[in-house]
Chains A and B, each alone.
Chain A
């Protein structure tokens, strides 16, 4: 039974359906009261923290009106058109409303609903074999072969590899910025059944694990002359909308939880792996395997907690979300083994 057309941004039950922030911005702009409040709020937020802002009556009124607008719950999609613009709108509202010193920030991205098993199904179609069989083979090599058989994957992979291994001068090993950009294109534009296989292949010998470690050309995209402090690195990341969003997404989807069987929020491996890959795609926060060990998987961004002063505890907590994260480790292992959680319906 078709009901009357519902207003934009609402489903027939009156619940707001999350819209993306670009669309929410358009909806708000079409409505005079919303657009003027939005303008007011942005002026309120410019250069002020939450508490000063809340003290102002006009700002508070704007906030209350906007709480009812679609802008409030808007999200962005990874790899969407105008992703950067979407994130800018998102943070223009949310940045000033939080203290900016929160340890974990909520992700501006829509929740991931697909499961790992979807990827396995696709993966076995193109590889022509079940990923769990043939245990002696080098899965990372198979992943590279599979990528080379796909024009799009091959083109973007060779694109980032040549960019990241191009020597600029005797002192400048490569152009890190261009390398990150090329990596970002690879992870954003190539379907995850290819990229995940390269990134999370399971290994039984060192040659395979070294190939896995080398996937992102770490000599250019990862390593640097000096290791910065992790909290410093986080601050740098948070000044960039895209990096900040991807880090928040990683924290949202990979934060170890006691309340699930797999240690992952909502037992969703796919979401965690996706936000891990999203963090690689560029930026200084890029994580990677720290060595070519086959027995244990250790992931870390290129930073350490040296020089943390009184913030050492916080720094180590931040770093542990990469190095000792059971959710991330389980998700990588589950992908490598071709197993997903069996969820009862």
Chain B
């Protein structure tokens, strides 16, 4: 490739002092090759970036095209410093320049090539310090970490020079020597004459992706000797040089469609591994590089199914050291809801393609054995019978009607209907929730229950699937029992209004099953889900969900359904509805406030005088 040369680091850093003479070397930049025989040419963009927005023409810095040595071509005087520092309101003034790289000599002095590195020069507002005032750390290394990246599968070469050209130039009477401490067998070599560090062989990221070495520097000045050690890190950059493969050779999975027929259902998942890394951003471009396509001529199949691709980073351990790889998951997903009558068996093939891998094994075929089973819409082999107390009030919940496996269904819309033969005793109705799984029977007209001529009421229940128009019927018998109780006077409509056990249990209210409200005695301390309250039926209220029947009238179960203010210690339920937890006794005035409070205070009411004192 023409642009195969690259920089082993993204940024370089060096200090520049006032009045340093022209010709002072600043730093050395290296390039690594993509193929043998490439020759690196360095070029400086003649544009200094000062602070973030300002720029200035470069009069001071130049680079040697062949060696990559950046040097001062003109000394920076006080005026230059002031000019370059304007607008820089950071404690330290920095200028930035770009160095470009090409395998040919630069024709034009252009500033746009893909391969570039950034050089930061810190402008120190003082003349160059005396060598004796510099610490060993400053003499040996710059502030920037010694961290490099080397592409895998590329020819060896020199990528760094430990010696700092500026310090070497400034402090010629100091002896500064370096060593590179590395474990045996590491593919790096240090050349004492040039202080250059080179990589000695092609690297393979899938074998090892990080090398941690130590650069050691010794400064000698007369009898004094100082040593500094800093980490020297090399990261190996990845390229797509591994084909996809199947874990344990598994390329087949069963995909069964039965009760769950809803669009978006994941039917089966197959996994493909790749030793290469896959960046998760930009997500779409990584998805495009690793494709999964359904192979089919059948328009029904391509409309009904889709493949979803997700991928994760996983670790492989090829020889003790961990390297990153990728796990690709291909999920077979329903693209639309499937009718209950559909009945098919077939094999669905998905072609997975690692598009950037250049080799014969760039793709694998995945197989899904798809079984679409029909489901029957039928009631369990029986008729329904429910007993209802004659004292039940409107919105009392009698029971549930459910076709076979109704709770397992997803993506199937079943509607339940009652058909009554003897219209005059039509006391109950049916409602269904949002999920359309079952129907709830409730008392719709409590006056019918009280009529002596209505004893046993027979209904036909019909369950129908909207999409396929399949339907089924069964018989439902409602038996009325119990004797009519005398209605208490002055009782509120809603059980939830009662604050004490006695008044609760002697009154009825909307939703009661036997004519009387039920008291739930809480046992918990503090704010608890098990608070004391008066309810039409402990089974359904409060149970934490505002069901379809409770939501018909706010008086039935405000404990599950209220959206008004709750006064006192409490926690709200899901979607801000109802009282999930409360302190002491919780009671509600429908359409007004709810209150949760401890019943410690024995006074029945607090009159105006009492309020004023508080």
Once the chains bind, are B576 and A54 in contact (CB under 8 Å)? no
Q: Give chain A's interface residue range (CB within 8 Å of chain B).
A: 35 or more
In A35-77, which residues have CB < 8 Å from any B CB?
51-52, 54, 63, 67, 72-73
Q: Which residue of B lies closest to A93 (CB)?
A: B53
The reply on A229 being an interface residue by CB < 8 A is yes
Given contacts A51-B112, A265-B90, contact A310 B54 (CB under 8 A): no
Residues of B within 8 Å of A115, CB to CB, are none
Once the chains bind, are A307 and B278 in contact (CB under 8 Å)? yes
Q: Which residue of B lies closest to A231 (CB)?
A: B281
Contact with B along A151-194 (1 / 0, CB 8 A): 00000000000000011111000000000000000000000000
Once the chains bind, are B47 and A54 in contact (CB under 8 Å)? yes
A327 to chain B, nearest CB (A): 13
Once the chains bind, are B90 and A106 in contact (CB under 8 Å)? yes
The reply on B458 being an interface residue by CB < 8 A is no
How far, in whole Å, are A166 and B279 apart by their CA atoms in the complex? 36
Contact with A along B78-96 (1 / 0, CB 8 A): 0000000001011110000
Once the chains bind, are B277 and A72 in contact (CB under 8 Å)? no
The reply on B404 being an interface residue by CB < 8 A is no
The reply on A82 being an interface residue by CB < 8 A is no
Once the chains bind, are B90 and A309 in contact (CB under 8 Å)? no
Once the chains bind, are B47 and A170 in contact (CB under 8 Å)? no
Residues of A within 8 Å of B575, CB to CB, are 167-170
A17 to chain B, nearest CB (A): 12
Once the chains bind, are A72 and B53 in contact (CB under 8 Å)? yes
How far, in whole Å, are A313 and B311 apart by their CA atoms in the complex? 20
Binding site for B on A (CB under 8 A): 18, 51-52, 54, 63, 67, 72-73, 93-94, 97-98, 102-103, 105-106, 111, 166-170, 229, 231-232, 235, 252, 258-259, 265-266, 306-314
Once the chains bind, are A167 and B235 in contact (CB under 8 Å)? no
Residues of B within 8 Å of A72, CB to CB, are 53-54, 87
Which 7 pairs across A and B sit closest by C-beta, in order of nearness? A309-B279, A307-B280, A232-B281, A309-B277, A51-B112, A306-B313, A97-B53
A234 to chain B, nearest CB (A): 10
Q: List 16 A-B contacts (CB under 8 A).
A: A54-B111, A67-B54, A72-B54, A98-B52, A98-B53, A103-B11, A106-B52, A167-B574, A169-B574, A232-B283, A235-B281, A265-B90, A307-B280, A307-B281, A310-B149, A310-B237
Residues of A within 8 Å of B51, CB to CB, are 106
How far, in whole Å, are A63 and B56 apart by their CA atoms in the complex? 11
The reply on B593 being an interface residue by CB < 8 A is no
How far, in whole Å, are A105 and B277 apart by their CA atoms in the complex? 29
How far, in whole Å, are A184 and B227 apart by their CA atoms in the complex? 50
Given contacts A167-B574, A229-B280, A306-B313, contact A312 B235 (CB under 8 A): yes
In B7-32, which residues have CB < 8 Å from any A CB?
10-11
Residues of B within 8 Å of A18, CB to CB, are 89
Given contacts A54-B47, A169-B575, contact A308 B279 (CB under 8 A): yes
B206 to chain A, nearest CB (A): 14
Once the chains bind, are A94 and B576 in contact (CB under 8 Å)? no
